[in-house]
Amino acid sequence: MFNAIMIDKTRAGSRAGVRSIDPADLPEGEITVRVDYSSLNYKDALAITGRGPVVRRFPMIPGIDLAGEILASDDPVHRPGDQVIANGWGLGEEHWGGLSQMARVHGKWLLPRPRGFSARQCMGIGTAGYTAMLCVMALEKGGVTPGDGDIVVTGAGGGVGGIAIALLARLGYRVVAVTGRDSLTEYLRMLGAAEVVGRSALAYTPRPLQGARWSGAIDVAGGKVLAALCASMRPGGVIAACGLAAGMDLPLTVAPFILRGITLRGIDSVMCPREQRMAAWARLERDLDPALIDSMCAEITLKQAITTAPQLLAGNIRGRTVVNTREG
């Protein structure tokens, strides 16, 4: 038997709790993994609290990330004893996920754990950091260079934002961090932000264009924040959009696209092709300091993940939250 967070359907919606589960009940997959660490992401918090339609089938073990050791494998690429990680692919949504001491998954979902990171550090990075790296790569692909001007990062206090700041700063970009919490200023400067501003810096107006300030942007907010970003980009600017914390609506015009030639690039970390994932993790191993990841992380247990989820949604969690699944 093993422990996991299980979400059950109820008349009122759903309910999450830690439960003892028989390995025979694990879903289909070629590989059984002993999960050593997972992480608590925004999507996991939505699933645990039932505040968003994340879970597609019940009962469900949440957790879009996992790191651990293969116990059994019918896949020719992966062998028992291999250290592996997984991000996305429907984990915690359609397939039992990583907030568990054991998981059964498909081989194509797994990547070898980067040698430069421990399992805990990989989950300190997790989907948030891997997504941040995809965003940085999108800016680079769009031709944005450190000499072009300021890069703005929204949701700077969260996992995507914090790791994006650290990556961009190390690569030589001047980063402006946007946060609604003044208390995070020193923390964000420690990560590499050259300037920290409040959310009012991206106040939405119905004007098609605003003053051109940003050469690049990484946005986790969406909604009116993303609309304000589009209207305030410099000519040729690139935005990597990867979240919707501020809403799914996008009230903007075509003006920034046809008058300033900006690019809005959507980042999908869930179904991202394996080759791109490998490239992103290779870049993380090269460009991200493991000690910095340790400084950004808090560690909790499976039980604590249930009580921490509402705090994450309320914006009260800084950086990344690693879940030690061995501590049920």
- Asked whether residue 284 is assigned to any structural domain, the reply reads no
Backbone φ and ψ of 273, nearest 5° = -60, 150
Say yes or no: 59 and 179 in one domain: no
- Asked whether residue 276 is assigned to any structural domain, the reply reads no
Predicted confidence at residue 97, as pLDDT, reads 98
Predicted confidence at residue 52, as pLDDT, reads 87
Whether the full predicted model's pTM is greater than 0.85, yes or no, is yes
- Asked whether residue 281 is assigned to any structural domain, the reply reads no
Last residue of one domain, picked from the residues 216, 232, 266: 266
CATH number of the domain residue 25 falls in: 3.90.180.10
Predicted confidence at residue 12, as pLDDT, reads 85
Predicted confidence at residue 73, as pLDDT, reads 97
Question: DSSP class of residue 60?
Answer: B
Q: pLDDT digit string (tens) for 233-289? A: 999 999 999 998 888 999 999 999 999 999 999 999 999 999 999 999 999 999 999
Beta strand pairing call for 151-153 and 214-219 = parallel
Say yes or no: 91 and 131 in one domain: no
Say yes or no: 98 and 134 in one domain: no
Say yes or no: 162 and 257 in one domain: yes
Say yes or no: 261 and 297 in one domain: no
- Asked whether residue 205 is assigned to any structural domain, the reply reads yes
CATH number of the domain residue 143 falls in: 3.40.50.720
Alpha helices in the chain (DSSP H): 42-49, 119-141, 159-170, 185-191, 223-231, 255-259, 274-287, 290-296, 302-313
Extract the residue ranges of the chain whose pLDDT is less than 70: 328
- Asked whether residue 120 is assigned to any structural domain, the reply reads no
Instruction: Give CA–CA dist 31/46, Å, rounded.
Output: 27
Predicted confidence at residue 315, as pLDDT, reads 86
Predicted confidence at residue 61, as pLDDT, reads 98
Predicted confidence at residue 327, as pLDDT, reads 81
Say yes or no: 161 and 254 in one domain: yes
Domain that holds residue 93: 2-113+290-324
Instruction: Give CA–CA dist 73/299, Å, rounded.
Output: 29
Predicted confidence at residue 118, as pLDDT, reads 97
Judge whether 174 and 240 are in contact, CB under 8 Å: no
- Amino acid identity, position 26: L
